[in-house]
Amino acid sequence: MTLLDVRNLGISFGGLRAVDNFEIQIKKGQLYGLIGPNGAGKTTVFNLLTGVYKPSDGKITLDGKNITGAATIDINKAGIARTFQNIRLFKDLSVLDNVKVGLHNQYSYSTITGILRLPKYFKVEKEMNEKAMELLKVFDLDKEADFLASNLPYGKQRKLEIARALATNPKLLLLDEPAAGMNPNETSELMDTIRFVRDNFDMTILLIEHDMKLVSGICEELTVLNFGQVLAKGKTAEVLNDPQVIKAYLGE
């Protein structure tokens, strides 16, 4: 069953067509890759899918619901969460509190309840702490729960960002170059983490990535973007052996 269905998506900036007639269909449970040269429009697509940019044209459907042009917070509530190429953590908050930020679209209490520390406040905070710790254990971050996020090693900051995204209880997780800046060992661990998330969280994942070892190792299908347009799409092995892709993306 198709979870994400994108048709004829496009956006222009000052007369420049950044993304044109972009289409992608991703089935529930798939691990899908979006690749292409620098400046191809990949992150722009993610920004369109998450409401950072409003599309000039086209339609985005998530699990049967039209989310085209919706606000970022509404798209998150509908079921899309993301990470960023440049890690965006609340670095002055603890590891635990970073994950709790992601839980706030599921747990809430009134301002008065928070100020007066009424019983519901303590009940909700206890539930959020327990849920956040469960997620941190999945990523082997529970021992660092009280650390400042900024004090984590780079690879663990990446994991924390994924944990925070999962805290929003998404249907679709967008990963923007999750292996950027990682050494080979960290990349190998990341591949295992992504597979674990897909298999154990019943998650559908779309990732942008330049590391071809990671892409070929975990992605079942690929779409290749070049100059804002789809160059190729299909099974990973077939796409990576497409002469057009080799010429445009690999520079050979």
Q: How far apart are CA 73 and CA 82, in angstroms?
A: 12
Instruction: Give 4's strand partners.
Output: 26, 62
| Token pair for 42 | 């990949």
| pLDDT at residue 121 greater than cutoff 80 | no
Write the secondary structure of 111-173 as one string of H (helix), E (strand) and C (coil): HHHHHHCCHHHHHHHHHHHHHHHHHHHHCCCHHHCCCEHHHCCHHHHHHHHHHHHHHCCCCEE
Question: What pLDDT is attached to residue 114?
Answer: 56
Q: How far apart are CA 11 and CA 99, in angstroms?
A: 33
Q: What would the pLDDT profile of 30-47 be if each residue is shown by its tens digit? A: 999 999 988 899 999 999
Question: What pLDDT is attached to residue 125?
Answer: 78
Contacts of 15 (CB under 8 A, 6+ apart): none
| pLDDT at residue 28 greater than cutoff 60 | yes
Q: What would the pLDDT profile of 163-219 be if each residue is shown by its tens digit? A: 999 999 999 999 999 998 888 888 898 899 999 999 999 999 999 998 888 899 999
Q: How far apart are CA 188 and CA 132, in angstroms?
A: 25
Q: Nearest Cα to 75, choosing from 107, 47, 43, 42?
A: 47
Across 75-100, average pLDDT: 94
Question: What pLDDT is attached to residue 111?
Answer: 62
Q: pLDDT averaged over the chain?
A: 90
For the chain, list the domains and their CATH numbers. 2-248 (3.40.50.300)
Question: What pLDDT is attached to residue 117?
Answer: 63
Report the range of poorest mean pLDDT among 62-66, 121-125, 215-219, 223-227. 121-125
Question: What pLDDT is attached to residue 120?
Answer: 67
